[in-house]
């Protein structure tokens, strides 16, 4: 019965691996499907990927984003519109208090002004994180506007706002390269030394 014999050979016994140890061992040692291996990607590697490039850079720079400051008047802290993120003017607030107060050219020097601008920039990034959830969604920092509380004869506003600009570039890399304005004011809210607002392109 040639036909029956062929059928029996086609439907091989399921116990074949037990009767042929070498075959059974090779089957049991077969590598797992690559798709399953991808699904079982190591937790540590996944965590590193989820941490985000910008978050990793903040950590490398030993920078910690502060708690998001609340608006000091009747406005919103940020606004999304047409793949752009507008961040309202940020003061040099730390734990709800102005960290650098006063007037440049009177009771504050340029270094103190730069410190104030850096704090403003950190608060900008904190607002962006609150708005986006992930800072890697930033495509480009388009613009910073810096306001310096200064005496009438003061002319180093750009040097003061460099504190904010340099921090944004350090954290965001090429995505942090931006246009800018740096202007002097006769006063700022809460007698803050500096105020900075920002505009980002986002995805």
Pairing between strand 138-149 and 179-185?
parallel
pLDDT at site 14: 45
Q: Which helix (H) or strand (E) holds 145?
A: strand 138-149
Expressed as residue numbers, the domain containing 28 is: 2-51
Same domain, 45 and 68: no
pLDDT at site 70: 81
Same domain, 92 and 173: yes
Same domain, 90 and 168: yes
Q: Splitting the chain (203 residues) into consecutive groups of 10 residues, what average pLDDT does each group show?
A: 45 45 44 37 40 91 92 93 97 95 97 98 97 97 98 97 98 98 97 98 97
CA distance linking residue 134 with residue 202, whole number of Å: 11
Residues paired with residue 146 on neighbouring β-strands, in sequence order: 182, 196
Question: Looking at 51, 69, 85, which one is the last position of a domain?
Answer: 51
Q: What is the pTM of this model?
A: 0.75
Per-residue pLDDT tens for 13-45? 444 444 444 444 443 444 433 333 333 333 334
pLDDT at site 121: 98
For 153, the 3-state DSSP assignment is: coil
Same domain, 87 and 172: yes
Helices 110-132 and 157-172 meet at what angle, rounded to 10? 40
């Amino acid at each position: 019965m040639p036909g029956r014999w062929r059928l029996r050979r086609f439907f091989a016994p399921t116990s074949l691996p037990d009767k042929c140890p070498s075959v059974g061992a090779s089957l049991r040692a077969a590598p797992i499907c690559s798709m399953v291996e991808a699904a079982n990607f190591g937790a540590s590697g996944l965590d590193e990927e989820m941490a985000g490039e910008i978050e990793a850079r903040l950590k490398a720079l030993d920078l910690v984003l502060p708690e998001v400051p609340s608006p000091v008047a009747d406005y919103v802290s940020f606004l999304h519109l047409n793949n752009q993120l507008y961040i309202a003017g940020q003061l040099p607030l730390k734990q709800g208090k102005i960290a650098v107060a006063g007037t440049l050219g009177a009771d504050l020097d340029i270094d103190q002004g730069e410190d104030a601008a850096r704090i403003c920039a950190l608060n900008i990034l904190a607002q962006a994180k609150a708005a986006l959830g992930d800072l890697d969604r930033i495509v480009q920092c388009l613009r910073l506007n810096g306001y310096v509380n200064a005496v009438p004869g003061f002319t180093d506003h750009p040097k003061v706002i460099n504190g904010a600009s340099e921090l944004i570039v350090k954290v965001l890399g090429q995505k942090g390269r931006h246009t800018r304005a740096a202007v002097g004011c006769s006063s700022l809210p809460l007698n803050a030394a500096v105020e900075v607002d920002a505009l980002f392109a986002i995805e």
